[in-house]
């Protein structure tokens, strides 16, 4: 009896991983399958690899493991530590400010306008909020409350008057949590 496409994919993935003791990324596996099964539609290959992944996650497949998202590795090649190094990304605090200002305006809709002030923009003035925003009600509103000031800081010790809303931004590795 001939193997189904899914069974062929499962066998080919295992064969490919035997040549890759460091593991293979999902995209590498798909490229390999496209070269080995040129008559099979690409979406069928993606679906078959997804089914293979489900078998791994559910414990039905013991020969292959997924040590990290998107990485497939034969279980015989895993030796305590992962065979590849995770890249550590250093993010500067200043890179965060503009994104948080956009988040306040576009996602939370807590501000109609927000700007980044952090990064020692005013030199020796330590009491500057990292992000400052304002919520201004529309001119078309029949009743317009006063402006709402929103500020976000990174250091919990600093204070900035009395904004209507205040966000304290804490890194995941912080000693507070």
**9, 37 in Cβ contact below 8 A?**
yes
Question: Helix 26-36 vs helix 5-18: angle between axes, to the nearest 10 degrees?
Answer: 120
- pLDDT at position 52: 92
Count the Cβ atoms, other than its own, within 10 Å of residue 73: 21
- pLDDT at position 157: 46
- pLDDT at position 37: 92
Q: pLDDT by residue for the chain (177 residues), tens digit each?
A: 578 889 999 999 999 999 998 889 888 999 999 999 999 999 999 999 989 988 988 889 889 998 887 789 998 887 765 445 555 667 677 777 888 888 888 877 888 888 887 766 656 555 566 788 888 877 777 887 887 787 776 555 444 454 545 565 555 554 443
Q: Where in the chain is the domain with CATH 1.10.10?
A: 5-77
pTM over 0.85: no
Phi, psi of 166 (to 5 degrees): -135, 130
- pLDDT at position 17: 93
- pLDDT at position 175: 45
- pLDDT at position 40: 92
Q: What is the distance between the alpha carbons of residues 68 and 86, in angstroms, rounded to a whole number?
A: 9
In this structure, which topology does domain 5-77 adopt according to CATH? Arc Repressor Mutant, subunit A (1.10.10)
62 CB-near residues (< 8 Å, 6+ apart): 75
């Amino acid at each position: 009896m001939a193997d189904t496409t899914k069974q062929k994919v499962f066998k080919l993935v295992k064969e490919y991983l035997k040549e890759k003791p460091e593991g293979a990324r999902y995209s590498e596996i798909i490229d390999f399958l496209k070269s080995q099964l040129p008559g099979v539609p690409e979406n069928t290959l993606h679906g078959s690899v997804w089914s293979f992944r489900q078998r791994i996650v559910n414990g039905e497949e013991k020969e292959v493991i997924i040590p990290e998202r998107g990485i497939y590795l034969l279980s015989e090649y895993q030796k305590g530590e992962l065979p590849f190094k995770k890249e550590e990304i250093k993010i500067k605090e200043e890179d965060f400010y503009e994104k948080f200002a956009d988040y306040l305006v576009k996602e939370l809709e807590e501000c109609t306008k927000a700007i980044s002030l952090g990064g020692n923009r005013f030199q020796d003035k330590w009491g500057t909020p990292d992000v400052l925003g304002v919520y201004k009600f529309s001119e078309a509103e029949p009743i317009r409350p006063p402006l709402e000031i929103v500020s976000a800081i990174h250091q919990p010790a600093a204070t900035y008057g009395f904004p209507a809303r205040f966000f304290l931004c804490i890194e995941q590795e912080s000693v507070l949590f």
